[in-house]
Amino acid sequence: MTCCSRLGGPLRTKTEVRLVFLGAAGVGKTALIQRFLKDTFEPKHRRTVEELHRKEYEVGGIKVTINIMDTSGSYSFPAMRKLSIQNSDAFALVYAVDDPESLEAVKTLREEILEVKEDKYTPIVVIGNKIDRHNDRLVSSKDVLSTVEMDWNHSFLESSAKDNVNVLEAFRELLQQANLPSRFSPALCRRRETFPKESKRQPPMNKANSCLIS
C-alpha cells in the first residue's frame, strides 16, 4: 500500500511514529489510549502530567513501533506541550461532546500546533469523545464536521472510550496520516469486528476502515 499526503505526493512509509494526544482536562485522552493499548476502561478521571507509551506491532513481517504521548489537559506546562508538538508526527485533538469549552481548547491547540510546525502539512485528527453520553450532548457533530474537514482539512470522528466505539479507527487514521502501515495483526482485526456499530448520527470517516492483513 502506497501512502500519499493530502498534497498528492507519495511518501515513504515509516517503521516508527510518535503520536501525541492533546485536549482539555477530563475529555478522555488517557481513556482512549488505555482502551487502545489494553482494551480497558477506568471511569474515574486521573490527572495526567505527561506519559509516554510504546507499543510494537508486526506488520507484513516488519516490526513497527508506535510511541503515544499522553499530555496534561492543564495549560500549566506550555514548555512540555511545545516539546511534545515539536517531536511528534501526528496529533489527536480530543474534546468531549458534552463540553463545548473543550472544543474551544481544541481550536487553540490546533493553532499552537500549526505555529510550532510553522504551518507545514501536519497530520491532525479531531476526536469528539464521550458519545455514550447521549442525553448530555452539547456539541453538534455536523457543525464540527464542517469546520474540521472543510475549513481545516483534517479528519474527524466521534468516539467512546467507555463503549469502545471508534477507538481503533482513530488510531488507524492517525497511523495512516503519519505514514505508518495501518494493517494491524489478525488479532487486532478480530477485535475490531467486536466493536459496537456506529450510530447513524455519527459522521463517517474520510478513509476506508477495512482491516487489511498482509
In a domain, 205, yes or no: no
**pLDDT tens digits, residue range 139-178?**
999 999 999 999 999 999 999 999 999 999 999 999 888 8
**pLDDT tens digits, residue range 101-111?**
999 999 999 99
User: Could you give the number of structural domains in the chain?
Assistant: 1
How does the average pLDDT of the chain come out, rounded?
A: 79
**pLDDT tens digits, residue range 178-203?**
876 555 443 444 433 333 333 334 44
In a domain, 208, yes or no: no
Burial environment of residue 87 by CB neighbours within 10 A (0 to 12, 13 to 18, 19 or more): exposed
Instruction: Tell me the CATH number at 62.
Output: 3.40.50.300
In a domain, 4, yes or no: no
In a domain, 132, yes or no: yes
pTM of the model: 0.76
Q: How many CA atoms lie within 13 A of 171 on its CB side?
A: 25
Instruction: Return the C-alpha torsion angle 70, 71, 74, 80, nearest 10.
Output: 160
In a domain, 214, yes or no: no
In a domain, 114, yes or no: yes
pLDDT for position 184: 47
pLDDT for position 210: 34
In a domain, 71, yes or no: yes
In a domain, 108, yes or no: yes
Mind giving me the DSSP string for 172-213?
A: HHHHHHTT------HHHHHHHHTSPPPPTTSPPPSS--PPP-
**pLDDT tens digits, residue range 50-98?**
788 998 877 667 788 999 999 876 665 677 778 888 889 999 999 999 9
Give the residue numbers spanning the domain of 37: 14-193
